[in-house]
Structure 1
Amino acid sequence: MLSAAAADVGYKEGRNNDTKHGRWYGLNFNPWCDMAVSYWAQQSGNAGAVGHFAYCPSHVNWFRARGQWHGRNAAVKRGDIVFYSWDGGPLADHVGVVTADSGPGQNIATIEGNTSSGNSGSQGNGDGCYRRVRSRASVLGFGRPTYSGGSTGGGSGLSRAQTTIGGLVYGYGAKGEHVTRVGRALVAKGFGKHYSEGPGPSWTDSDTANYRDFQVSLGYRGSDADGVPGPASLARLLGATPGKPALAPFPGAAWFRGEPRSPLITAMGRRLVAEGCGRYADGPGPKWTDADKRSYAAWQRKRGFGGSDADGWPGKATWDALKVPAV
């Protein structure tokens, strides 16, 4: 976790909070401190222990619910996730990762994204990623990830991390038709020996073990062969070629009703425009809007659907026919 964070020290954002962390998370052009923490966790195989968040108060509640919350003046350990409240209120405004142990009430050393290198700039919406040493004055508290047991499955040695690719979650505990599709692709390529039954729509240790075998077959070694999909290996598994890119699996009807924000929505919108079904005044963009729904309804009508079957909510049949590229 700390190595992943250290690799970003000195990283500078682009205009309007344009960052690799925001693009990865699917919420670019927004304050990105917690997206950076989530990114470092994913990069280091610790997403299951650290969590996957863009909104600091939700991340705090996650640690509280797991019994992993410590008060502002507690003793601090390397790898703790520190949350700040600049106005002293109950809601977290900013977050970073602790890089050194310190005693109760002592200053803390951190790496933080979306902050400033000194005290003259914005502390919670700065221009980059920096090492900082801070007093406890603005600390709200600390989340303490269970790194040894939170990112690996007990004695199995299998990663319990998750990652998000094209708006879809992969890795232990992920659910959806896209998980079944990965499992079937693994079996088709001869990497299904760890299934006692399935594959199915819930990602289990069996999926991780089979995916690890597939990664090894591609030449990945060590932590790169952890059984958690990455964009490159996933594209190889799902049949992408230079002339035929991998297609995005249907993320499920419920996903769209949650008004998602993801590069997958932009890719879908571009395909709708290419099919002559775009109903956008501006866009398409990563946030699901009524314009996306109107455009998708036009695509459904083009495919011969009518009435309630052309309501603008994507279904698997029309999604597969649209051939949205994986992002």
Structure 2
Amino acid sequence: MLAAAAADVGYKEGPDNDTKHGRWYGLNYNPWCDMAISYWAQQSGNAGAVGKFAYCPSHVNWFRARGQWLGKNAAARRGDIVFYSWDGGPVADHVGIVAEDSGPGQSLATIEGNTSSGNSGSQGNGDGCYRRTRPRTYVLGFGRPAYSGSSSGGDSGPSRAQSSIGGLTYGYGAHGDHVTRIGRALVARGFGSHYAEGPGPDWSDADTLNYEAFQRSLGYSGSDADGVPGPDSLARLLGSTPGTQTYAPFPGTDWFKSSPRNPLVTAMGRRLVAEGCGCYVDGPGPQWTDADRQSYAAWQRKQGFGGADADGWPGQRTWDALQVPAV
């Protein structure tokens, strides 16, 4: 991938963004920074790992969906795809490839298409392909392709394995509120050093590396410390270890339908308010009321449920996602 990019250093576009990259992509006479990335991937046999895109925001979303997105201050590796936002906003404006490893917060050596050779020209719609050294100021984040041979073990990068526990998937490719919950628990336990952003609902290399550090703290080693949750380590992370945050087990839907008066109802209501789902005029309080049910229905809708599945009566899945503290 890097050899293909290096071969284009010094390449100059023709009039009106006329490039070989645009002609290859089928979208000539348009800004071509991401088409160059896609072209180099195709030329080097890495199209499946890097993707084929002309629009940077779509490429970012592709990496996010695959759990291959890292924040702007993460340690960068050779071959990472770096995305820039010139105004500091959430939308990518430009893209390049990282040519040398770079520690967290350090400047980046890159190869980029559709840029300028120096700071005086357009950075996101320049006249050619150049090697650049850039500070982290404008970096939005990094896509980390799963290049051939880098899927497991040793220096090749974090594990791409998965596990399934209680019907939920953990590890590479996992998505959901349970992933965010794992990340927050790791941070609370002091194992969040690899997060530059987040934690969030898409399992990333940062989750794997942080979870690996947690596993090693428990005495695991070798393949047992691969950064992928197992039943024992997951239980110990989420509350069975003294001194850590514990969460209330789900008491059952029928318990709520019995109109309970219990401190657990207050704890639940406070979590609903914290999640922006509170429909309370007074409270929340210990007595289950219609306001609790309306608030919980808002939480169910926030989780993507609708119709009869968002009726305001708690269920196991949405309760686990809410993370109500034990009382």
What range describes the TM-score normalised by the shorter chain of this pair?
0.3 to 0.5
**Normalised by the size of structure 2, how large is the TM-score?**
0.46
Larger CA Rg, structure 1 vs 2 = 2
